[in-house]
Structure 1
Amino acid sequence: MLEFENLGYAQTLAQAIVNTLHEPLLVLDSDFRVLAASVSFYRSFQVEPTQTIGRMLFSLGDGQWDIPALRTLLETIIPERAAMDGFEVEHDFPGLGRRTMLLNARQVVYEHGPNTTILLAFMDITDRRRIEREKALLLAQTEELLRQKDTLLKEMQHRVANSLQIIASILLLKARAVSSAESRQHLQEAHQRVISVAEVQRHLHATTAIDQIDVGAYLTKLCASLASSMVGESQPIGIEVNADPGQIGSDTAVSLGLIVTELVINAIKYAFPAPRSDGLIRLSYKVDGDGWRLTVSDNGIGKGGAAPAQPGSGLGTAIVQSLVKQLGAAIEQANSAGNGLKIVITRPGSVALGPTAA
């Protein structure tokens, strides 16, 4: 250890060490009189050494350090604990304005002698606290905007559902009023499509997720709803859903829901022209990496043993084909086991959807 020839050398070294510190620092005696101060202290609080050294801390400047919280720290806490970290003080300092300081204090007890020294370090955290308040305010504003958005979204969903129900009712009334059988059929099909869109929206909005939908639960509920609304006691048709677990975006869910609705409705309406007890529609959704395969099949009359046909040209088929294209998928139609019909829609992995994708 370096030995000093006299106390003056030790004081010079101690002052040099104090001056190298970036944060303001005071060295106080047991009576809170300033023994030394760092250059950063003079610079930060705009005071001179002649106004600082030898004076009581609480009388520095115009009494700007005569802060009750600081007195508590030095007179009560330090004697009991010998150290204190992170003691926060907020005060109006002349020439500086209102500042927030973080104080760290240490009591130094010497082995030989009754005297003690207190090291008091200051950290200006005014800007940090301001940023934290701004972030908290921004977070609160964001949460309020999200709450308002959620309220508006629910209101919009409610209005859309009501509008769809009104449109469906009007179409049904018109279908009953027209004399042409062909017009009546077209109006009834339009009515059913509006109802199916309403069902898709209702199932999507029943979930608590904002953008991700549990595909298995979604398709199961959708098919159950279609079965309850379209399958009667005179023509019992079962609908089975087998879906791999996973999440899909709400935009993809809308398109899938509309596709499934069209295919299931067509199967219910056309695959079983005569009542039978074993009528069954199967829906399968299989995940392949980031791609998927949707299959809707039935054990109905199929194509009468004909070769696999391409999808027809009706409105329902046009809707399905358009949605399949938007999803970047491909559609195939074939006879299924039991001479029924099977529709397979495949979306390969790593397909980038275009700007019009649903």
Structure 2
Amino acid sequence: MKQDLSLLIQALDSSISGIILTDNQQPDNPIIYCNKAFERITGYRRHEIIGHNCRFLQKEDRNQKERLVLRKAVDDGTECVVEMRNYQKNGTLFWNELYMSPIKDERGNVCYFIGVQNDITRRKKAEQELLHQQSVMEAQIQERTRSLRESEDYLSSIVQTVRESLVVLDPGFKVLSVNDHFLKTFKVTKEETEGKLLYELGNGQWDIVQLKELLESILPTNNPVEEFEVEHDFPHIGKKLMLLNAHRIELEGQYKDRILIAIEDITDRRELERRKDDFLSIASHELKTPLTTIKGYVQVMQRLLPETVSDKFKDILRKTGVYVERLNTLISELLDMSRIQTGNIELHKETFDFDRAIHEAVENIQTATKTHQIIIRGQATNSYTGDESHIVQVINNLLSNAIKYAPESGEVQVYLSRVSNYLKVSVSDKGMGIKIEDQKKIFDRFYRVGDIQQRFPGMGIGLYVCDQIIKNHGGTLWVESEPAQGSTFSFTLPLDERKSDEQ
């Protein structure tokens, strides 16, 4: 039996078609298996796929009518074939021909769905190209070329006023032109620059290994390249940390075969960020000690209160304890963030009962809140090796956010499950929800959604810390949300050491 299963997995991994299995018995029909071809076609690795619903491949492109066909087939437990737009991890569009079929048990209940997908992007592109007549295409190209020539002087003046260094190269990396900002920043003249090979500028100052990698290895296979970081010590102007954007211009006519490089000097900005991180770290450490003392005194006062003390005094002392605890949590998050930024965060991994730890965390939060009922369902595992305190910190943060940002819903749901060789935890609320454009940024440090920032206090570091904790455990944290419909934050954690091979 074990040999047959191994042979089946080898056969599936040998297929050129992407194959997935989803579990219809679990909420949201999560993916529980994918073969190698599915990883290759989508660009995602296995640990980023398992536990997600297939819809994550559509990213923001959720209004395709084919999704309704898929949803009806899932609801009816029937098979279907659709062609739809999907997006790889790097954002590249590909057309997916998906065959989906239910797997039923002996009683006829749908337990799983199997999906087989093929990348038909080339076929779709050919179909679309046949719709355009050659004469129309030539007319468009001629019109664009004419417009570019008429706008040359105008564009040139814009380039000269841009507050970034711009360089235009030919395919052999010879400098065709630079703007004034480049000349001022790197203290060179046009005569020393234009017509020269980029690597030979300034007696080899631009012969930089990272720059060669960008131009010769990365740009030809991934056009454009954005935010490529290069650090170099220039003999005359000192060490510079630069952020490069490179783009191959693929036009006909005068501007054919050009490489445009935009160079942003972020040396000062990065130094300011480092100083800010140092300040936050030092300030957090300095505040932690006296705050711990204050917290201890408040607890002692609460224990030693005489029976004759007024209710108003008791309430004031209670509120003092609440605000001290809030401040303590904030400082702890700042400390965690500073440790993450400096690479000093430590994980103390031990084997513990994961489900019990989650239940205890939920009970603690439930005891502290009277406005919401926290419902916990499912089970993941009673044996997981990781940093228990950090995992509990993630759960506490997600639950606190669910309560905080859904003040009128009255209910928060926690679902535990095991998906393939991963455990999965989801925290759902029926609150205000998060816009698609904000979902990409909420795990960045200090980022807060505009309308939320006005209504709810906070610094925007909790989700950043949670995301880093989960990543340090080899897992993935994500959110699914719609405005006014609530949010579901989920994370997966690998249950064995295979994660080191998959990442």
TM range, smaller chain: 0.3 to 0.5
Structure number, greater radius of gyration: 1
TM-score by length of 1: 0.42
TM-score by length of 2: 0.31
